[in-house]
Chain A
Amino acid sequence: MEGPAEINDKRLRFDSFDSENAKVFPDKKQRLPAMGWNSWNAFGSGNTEALTKEMILKIKELELFRFGYQYVVLDDGCYRPERVNDRLESDPVKFPSGFKAMADTVHSAGLKFGMYNDIGTKLCSGAEVGIYKHEKIDCEDYINWDIDFIKVDNCYYMWDNATFSNTGNAMYSYAPNIRSVCISGQTYSAAKDALITGSRAVVKDDYVTFIGTFDGTAPDHTPVGLRSSELIFEVDIDEPGYYEMTVSYATGKEEGVGSWLQIAVEDEIVFDEMLPSTPAPEDFTDSDVIKLKLFSGTNRIRLMNHRRQENTLHSYSEVRKELEHFAQGRDIVFSICEWGKTQPQNWGHIVGDSWRILNDITFQVGCDGNRGTAAWENDYTTSITSQYNKAVIMDEFAGLDKGWNDPDMLVIGMDGINDTMCTSHMAMWCMMNSPLMLGLDLRRVNKGDAIYNIIANEDLISLDQDALGVQAKRIFTTYSCDDPATAYIRDNNRADVLAKPLSNGDIALAFFNLSTEDNSEKITVPVDLILDSIGSKMDKSFKDCFANASSYRLKELISKECSKTLSGSFSVDSLEACGCKVFRITPVL
């Protein structure tokens, strides 16, 4: 029976996610967040060669490349909906000249060319041209088409049940329900004798269920902390040697209960496969005998299923491996778009340059003549604040040596949001070192107009593209919580303060009012709080300089107002609804 690939490379295993010695792709470059234009929010599946050429002309006319916008990315909807002789082709109506010609046009304009595919069998549009089982020939074609960037989506993925996949695939992504294990005649109860790590798995009656990884596609769960659960039996052994174990289990095909079981003794995986099905998820049976090599003393026998993360990482790795093979050193940005489903903040750094953290920021994308619609806030992922609220506590997962959290493409210029919201959106993304992919029809932008002034704000962009490459940390919030840096707060009736160290010793300090009401409360942040929060990310001399400065020069990066303060704190007296103030602070000795 077909199933997920064997994973023989230990570096792709859960236990290696944090290992700094396990570089699967040693040639993966340190790079700043990618900037450019992506077709999706502007035109959805309706993007065409003609429209893309118009966008290129506008990028040139507006000189957006001067600010760093360099990638022109064709998103979903650009392919012929089925393969021809097993190979990808462009949609003959939308892109009649083909992808190589499109790439040439982009390159001749001094820009870089990006494309899109999906680790599943189909693209999200339903086109049956997903990269699964075509990694080699597709990557060969991508390199022949001279791509510089690839966004790889996660629809119709075969080994996961969550979002945009078959729900029955839960058999792969969750362990069975476990009632007990029996080792050399002694029975250990899962509910009473075992340790459960994390908060995903729970005890139900006399068994343990939900042994797996949280689905992070929706905004329900925090990204911080252990996002999966294991069931651990600590077994004391006098004589080292081989022991026989059976597992009392029941399988299912639904969120929380599957059939795939992993067993490890300490960090050595001894079992990693599907168990035979049982009639129902509460109909328990005993497994065949599984031999374990145990040592004298206490052995930690781990029952788990990390395949949700490992399979997805493996699939992305297969794509990257083939790209690198054919690229022969060509520099290609690898943008992971699995929407936070398998907690890519844990593993994305191994294979990608950025990883989406949630489902889309809008589902109301535009088309030619229709701007599409975005929102400041809502309950699902489809708003600026939904994405921000998660990304803002993910700074520790990002960095030059890892890659970047991606709270999705910019929605600036779409209907449903005003200029203040768009400005804060831009400032948030820049403070959080997010990729800056414009998602609007650029034909409606002119130099000096409101949208232009937002997307071409060099001062804000310089924060995103600062060479130090440190995502801002939230150091204060008006919402009551224990730790503003890690608390997952979805109530937008608040203001946040973010701080970010910069390569020249300056610090960026941003005040965001998330609320749709004006905030007239004065917010003050002392220097000590800033340095306590982000000082560890600063060069010591810069930190000392900031701590001992006699005064500070401030530039507000939206109004461009400059000021100076002698005090050891920074304040804003008020913030308009959904508004922000962003300061670049320079210490003066």
Chain B
Amino acid sequence: MTRGSFIVSLLRAFGEEYEDIFSRGLENGWLEYEDKLYSNEPIARKNAARIIHMFLLKEKGIIDLPSIHDAEVLRDLYDCRVCANHVAQVYLRGIMDAKDLSAGGGFLWFDLDGEDDQTVIEEYIRRAVETVKNAKI
């Protein structure tokens, strides 16, 4: 899925207008200029995490979990310092899953530069919607 399609899918899932989305997302600080520049390129997991996290924070008022300590089970959490909080927040909220690279379990990896197929991404978006719904209850 491309970045552009991901952003449109996210907004559709929340029932929001997606016309002129880049201008609004950039203005409101939950999209980066690179999202517009690379809108036709496949979306990496770290960017999906960032967009979901910042959309929930900026547009839906979902404040950050205070501690990301429990996300340190992800071996690559600190491999990208600008991604760490985005990844931790969506992982700890159960929106995006980690990958377990060991047969016996326990080697958890977020796979920052990896890409997910459409079904998986749609599930993450569904969970993002659920997160907001549950926060309102």
Q: Which residue numbers of A lie inside 8 Å of B, CB to CB? A: 44-46, 76-77, 80-82, 91-94, 124-127, 155, 163-164, 359-360, 363-365, 367-370, 373, 375, 378-380, 415-416
Residues of A within 8 A of B81 (CB): 124, 155, 164, 359-360, 363
B69 at the interface (CB under 8 A from A): yes
On whether the beta carbons of A81 and B34 are closer than 8 Å, the reply is yes
On whether the beta carbons of A45 and B85 are closer than 8 Å, the reply is no
B15 at the interface (CB under 8 A from A): no
Instruction: Give the Cβ gap from B105 to chain A, nearest Cβ, in Å.
Output: 22
Residues of B within 8 A of A45 (CB): 32, 82
Besides A45-B32, A93-B26, 18 other A-B contacts (C-beta < 8 A): A45-B82, A76-B82, A81-B33, A93-B33, A124-B80, A124-B81, A126-B82, A164-B79, A164-B80, A359-B78, A359-B81, A363-B85, A364-B85, A365-B85, A375-B67, A378-B69, A380-B72, A415-B66
Residues of A within 8 A of B13 (CB): none
Residues of A within 8 A of B58 (CB): 367, 369
On whether the beta carbons of B66 and A44 are closer than 8 Å, the reply is no
Instruction: Give the Cβ gap from B66 to chain A, nearest Cβ, in Å.
Output: 6
B68 at the interface (CB under 8 A from A): yes
Query: Dominant SS at the A interface?
Result: loop
Give the nearest-CB partner of B23 in chain A: A93
Instruction: Name B41-100 residues within 8 Å CB distance of A.
Output: 54, 57-58, 63-64, 66-69, 72, 78-82, 84-85, 88
Q: Name 13 A/B residue pairs within 8 A (Cβ), A-sorted.
A: A45-B32, A77-B82, A93-B26, A124-B80, A125-B82, A126-B82, A364-B85, A364-B88, A369-B58, A373-B66, A380-B72, A416-B66, A416-B67
**What is the number of residues of chain B that contact chain A, defined by CB distance less than 8 Å?**
26
Distance in angstroms between the alpha carbons of A363 and B87 in the assembled complex = 11
On whether the beta carbons of A81 and B37 are closer than 8 Å, the reply is yes
The 10 residue pairs across chains A and B that have the minimum distance between CB atoms: A363-B84, A81-B34, A93-B26, A125-B82, A364-B85, A46-B29, A91-B33, A124-B82, A124-B81, A363-B85
Distance in angstroms between the alpha carbons of A114 and B57 in the assembled complex = 29
Distance in angstroms between the alpha carbons of A365 and B84 in the assembled complex = 10
Distance in angstroms between the alpha carbons of A277 and B63 in the assembled complex = 51
Give the nearest-CB partner of A48 in chain B: B29
Residues of A within 8 A of B80 (CB): 124, 126, 164
